[in-house]
Amino acid sequence: MADPKIAFRNVSKVFGTGADAFTAIRDLTLEIADGEIVTVVGPSGCGKSTAMNMVAGLIPHSSGEVLVDGRPVSGPGPDRGVIFQQYALFPWLTVRENVEFGLKLQGLGRQERRKRAMHYLGLVGLQDFAESYPKTLSGGMKQRCAIARAYAVNPSVLLMDEPFGALDALTRVTLQNQLLDTWSKDRRTVMFITHDVDEAVFIASRVVVLAARPGRLQEIIEVDLPYPRDEEVRLSPEFMEIRNRVWRAVYRRDAQAA
């Protein structure tokens, strides 16, 4: 792969020291291309969040290299937008003000902030709720607000840690479609963690399967289904075949270890 956007080179992560040392990730090597959507699946505790947090610059790695655009990650930065399962909106700010928050930090003027915030709220279908407070929104709407906020600062990488995990199945599917729709327009690089194998296959060009104890690369499964993908894709035999491969890679190994 020429000049990957994100690269893990022989990365290990050990939490604690001495007798308490715990290897969460061992020798992970993985490249994600510019403009690619990659999903990461694996049993609980295999190090999915740890891997993503290292790219986000939220936790340091212990050895190896974590690179974004060929440069070592040394901390968080506006080039990487992070979206977690819990929406983490500021309750005292309106939807629009939440989206404007990061833009204010970037030093954008009032009018430009408002324009940009409304654009991204429109993209996620929340323009009519711009002046509402988070507590009046449903879970799906809050998550759409969090997505708009991450998009608004225009990061070239989106890091999503089970972003739709707390939502009902229908809202989940709607947001998956919305994510692909937006991605088809701007082709941002996306690293997306999920426990849901169908979700992993539906949105990704490659599914990265991690194994646990210690966390390590198990398999990378190509999703050879053309974009744009619609609901019909989920019912196709090709989708089922790939889904079953991912499922086996994740759960057969886990069953063997039990």
Ligand X SMILES: Nc1ncnc2c1ncn2[C@@H]1O[C@H](COP(=O)(O)OP(=O)(O)OP(=O)(O)O)[C@@H](O)[C@H]1O
47 in contact with ligand X (CB under 6 A): yes
Site of tokens 């990365």: 11
∠ Cα 124 127 131 (to 5°): 125
By beta-carbon proximity to ligand X, the closer residue of 64 and 134 is 64
Pull the structure tokens for residue 46. 């295999």
By beta-carbon proximity to ligand X, the closer residue of 48 and 243 is 48
By beta-carbon proximity to ligand X, the closer residue of 62 and 174 is 62
218 in contact with ligand X (CB under 6 A): no
Pull the structure tokens for residue 231. 């609901």
| Phi/psi at 91 (5° precision) | -70, -20
Residue 254: CB minimum distance to ligand X, A: 12
50 in contact with ligand X (CB under 6 A): yes
Query: Could you write out the DSSP letters of every residue in 129-140?
Result: GTTS-GGGS-HH
Task: Determine which residue in the list 12, 49, 94, 98 makes contact with ligand X, applying CB under 6 A.
Answer: 49
227 in contact with ligand X (CB under 6 A): no
Residue pair 52/193 in contact (Cβ under 8 Å)? The answer is yes
251 in contact with ligand X (CB under 6 A): no
45 in contact with ligand X (CB under 6 A): yes
By beta-carbon proximity to ligand X, the closer residue of 52 and 99 is 52
Report which DSSP code applies to 174: H
46 in contact with ligand X (CB under 6 A): yes
Task: Determine which residue in the list 6, 7, 11, 24 makes contact with ligand X, applying CB under 6 A.
Answer: 24
Any residues with CB less than 8 A from the CB of 122 and at least 6 apart, and which? none
By beta-carbon proximity to ligand X, the closer residue of 118 and 159 is 159
Going from the C-alpha of 209 to that of each of 17, 176, 248, the distances in angstroms are: 28, 20, 10
Task: Determine which residue in the list 48, 113, 149, 172 makes contact with ligand X, applying CB under 6 A.
Answer: 48
Report the Cα 117 to chain-centroid distance in Å: 21
Q: Which residues bind ligand X (CB under 6 A)?
A: 15-16, 22, 24, 42, 44-50, 215
